[in-house]
Amino acid sequence: MSLSALIAQYGYVALFVGCLLEGETLLILAGFAAHQGYLQLHWVILIALTGGFFGDQFYFWLGRRHGSWVLSRFPRLMPVFERANLLITRYHEVLIVGIRFLYGLRTVGPMALGMSTVLWWRFVLYNALGAAIWASGIGVAGFLFGQALELFLDDFKKLEEALLIALLFAGLAVWAWRRYKYRSKFK
């Protein structure tokens, strides 16, 4: 089975699962795949929005119900929680919308918000708005990236599969580097 066939068959499921966790890299790749015709951009945006929304709702709930247990189990997260709490007290609406754009706060931020006094219904509303902005912006960026490559490369169709593989490995490298940097920060 070719890479393009795998993307067409499993792309939406992989996108949803990836967006439950973090998902920027997968969302850019899905936008690029939409430009290539393997996925449809409106479905990419809707699925990313849904995955990102429910992922943050889960982390908010986890913070609300089990936040102190999480902090006692993973004390290295305390500096990130403290940083998030400083922002929450002054800018919780903006923070809820923009948390998915802040490196290092994507999963911990909603948990910190869950541990705060932010009302659950306010989090739902602002989280939906943030997920819509994020999914639309990053998904369209991936689509436009595909258009830009097509403009600059004459034999784009011949190089398509190699570009998809290169983008996949580049995305994995960026993810691994971010994970390494994040983990080394707490050692």
For the entire predicted model, the pTM comes to 0.81
Confidence at residue 155, expressed as pLDDT on a 0 to 100 scale: 65
Tally of domains in the chain: 1
Q: What digits encode the pLDDT tens for the residues 70-123?
A: 888 888 878 877 777 787 888 889 989 998 887 767 888 898 899 988 999 999
Give which of 150, 92, 151, 147 is closest to 123, Cα–Cα: 92
Which residues have CB under 8 Å from 71's CB, separation 6+? 77, 78, 81
How confident is the prediction for the chain on average, in pLDDT?
A: 86
Task: Give the CA radius of gyration of the chain.
Answer: 18
Give which of 26, 62, 12 is closest to 142, Cα–Cα: 26
Confidence at residue 23, expressed as pLDDT on a 0 to 100 scale: 82
Share of the chain above pLDDT 90, in %: 44
Helix (H, G, I), strand (E, B) or coil at 103: coil
Confidence at residue 22, expressed as pLDDT on a 0 to 100 scale: 79
Question: Sign (positive/negative) of CA torsion 150, 153, 158, 161?
Answer: negative
For the residues 47-76, what does the mean pLDDT come to?
92
**124 token code pair:** 């739902």
Give which of 94, 85, 176, 179 is closest to 133, Cα–Cα: 94
Confidence at residue 182, expressed as pLDDT on a 0 to 100 scale: 67
Q: Give the Cα separation of 18 and 21 in Å (integer).
A: 5
First-to-last alpha carbon distance for the chain, in angstroms, is 42
CB of 82 closer than 8 Å to CB of 116: no
Is 90 exceeded by the pLDDT of residue 136?
Answer: yes
The CA distances from residue 47 to 53, 135, 142, in Å, are 10, 8, 15
Q: Give the Cα separation of 70 and 184 in Å (integer).
A: 20
Q: What residues make up the domain containing 39? A: 3-185
For the residues 4-15, what does the mean pLDDT come to?
88
CA triplet 134, 136, 138: central angle to 5 degrees? 65
Q: What digits encode the pLDDT tens for the residues 137-170?
A: 999 999 998 888 888 776 666 666 777 777 778 7
